[in-house]
């Protein structure tokens, strides 16, 4: 069976990643330009691994927008659904902490202007997997309307819908309840959900992994992946749960690690008839592969520029933490 196409919807932006070391963000001066945006990263991961990916979103009619389009092309991502708008391309300034974790400052622009395509994308790409990564998609702008409309069309046309809340505290200060309400509405449309351990607690108000996943299953999702950093991944289907150990890495930059994980997962899911027909063992194998891809990304700078090929992942030796 030929692998399905994966359509990734949301923001493409420029990450300016700080290379200065130090505690105070205000004192830092040197930033490297890197292509980014969670759904764009996911599409690039799929393309880099050898899968079929398409990105839908808006960029500015400027040099940064051209750079993002050209970069996605180099990762073999389809770009015919990218809209060029009059707003400048969205920027994110990323400061890395000593443990590899990140702090973000967003300068939002073009991504908010993405408009619902004239032709129903679930019919343009029949039998495709649709991935919605929401770092900016739930903020004000036409992107939010297009995002929900497209997901509803995908559900009505029996396309698989994947959702990653991608919570950024810098974007939702004092508005957490609004974000939670939008996520709950989207959980009802999604077949597959990827959340971090922190997001699971934040969005469900449940402390235990079991209870948190149960809450999301009840809303609609069939399969949930809870990424837990060095503790691995908690895999939850409607019938089974399992903690899958992480691999040892020398973390330099965790930017895009979650995007690489879900990108690699979708790359694997695309080769199956459906998530429902996958055995729990097949889901487990897919998680292990995705964790290897994510681990590899953490050892280099940049979300896209660190992405490996499938052969690079398969030929490398990984050591399990534990």
* 241-299 pLDDT, tens digit each: 999 999 998 888 787 899 999 999 999 999 999 998 999 999 999 999 999 999 999 98
| Residue 20 is assigned to a structural domain of this protein | no
| Residue 208 is assigned to a structural domain of this protein | yes
Residue 168: name the closest of 15, 6, 5 by CA: 15
Task: Tell me what pLDDT residue 99 has.
Answer: 62
Kindly write down the DSSP assignment for every residue of 266-309, as one continuous string. Answer: HHHHTTSS-STTS-HHHHHHHHHHHHHHHHHHHTSSSSSTTPPP
For the chain, what is the domain count?
1
The mean pLDDT of 188-203, rounded to a whole number, is 97
Is the pTM of the predicted complex or chain greater than 0.85? yes
The CATH number assigned to the domain holding 124 equals 3.40.1190.20
Kindly write down the DSSP assignment for every residue of 153-201, as one continuous string. Answer: HHHHTT-EEEEE----GGG-TT-HHHHHHHHHHHHTT-SEEEEEHHHHH
| Residue 65 is assigned to a structural domain of this protein | yes
In this prediction, residue 104 has a pLDDT band, given cuts at 50, 70 and 90, of confident
Full residue range of the structural domain in which residue 248 is found: 5-11+38-88+111-314
| Residue 24 is assigned to a structural domain of this protein | no
Task: Tell me what pLDDT residue 253 has.
Answer: 77
Task: Tell me what pLDDT residue 28 has.
Answer: 75
């Amino acid at each position: 069976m030929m692998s399905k196409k994966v359509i990734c919807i949301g923001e493409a932006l420029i990450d300016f990643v700080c290379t200065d070391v130090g505690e105070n963000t205000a004192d830092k001066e040197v930033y490297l330009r890197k292509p980014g945006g969670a759904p764009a990263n996911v599409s690039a991961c799929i393309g880099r691994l050898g899968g079929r990916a398409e990105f839908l979103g808006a960029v500015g009619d400027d040099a940064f927008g051209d750079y993002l389009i050209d970069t996605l092309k180099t990762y073999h991502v389809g770009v015919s659904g990218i809209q060029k708008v009059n707003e400048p391309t969205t920027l994110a300034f990323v400061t890395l902490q000593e443990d590899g974790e990140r702090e973000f400052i967003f300068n939002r622009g073009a991504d908010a202007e993405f408009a619902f395509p004239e032709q129903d994308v679930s019919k343009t790409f029949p039998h495709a997997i649709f991935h919605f990564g929401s770092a900016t998609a739930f903020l004000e702008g036409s992107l939010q309307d297009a995002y929900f409309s497209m997901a509803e069309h995908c559900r009505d046309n029996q396309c698989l819908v994947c959702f990653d809340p991608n919570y950024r505290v810098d974007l939702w200060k004092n508005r957490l309840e609004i974000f939670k309400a939008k996520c709950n509405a989207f959980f009802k449309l999604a077949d597959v959900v990827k959340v971090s351990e922190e997001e699971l607690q934040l969005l469900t108000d449940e402390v235990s992994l079991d209870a948190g996943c149960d809450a999301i299953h009840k809303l609609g999702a069939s399969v949930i992946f809870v990424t837990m950093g060095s503790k691995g991944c908690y895999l939850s289907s409607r019938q089974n749960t399992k903690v899958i150990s992480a691999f040892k890495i020398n973390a330099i930059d965790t930017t895009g690690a979650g995007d690489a994980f879900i990108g690699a997962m979708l790359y694997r899911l695309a080769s199956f008839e459906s998530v429902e027909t996958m055995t729990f063992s097949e889901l487990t194998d897919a998680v292990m592969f995705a964790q290897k891809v994510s681990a590899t990304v953490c050892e280099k700078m940049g979300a896209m520029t660190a992405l490996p090929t499938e052969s690079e992942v398969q030929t490398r030796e990984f050591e399990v933490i534990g």
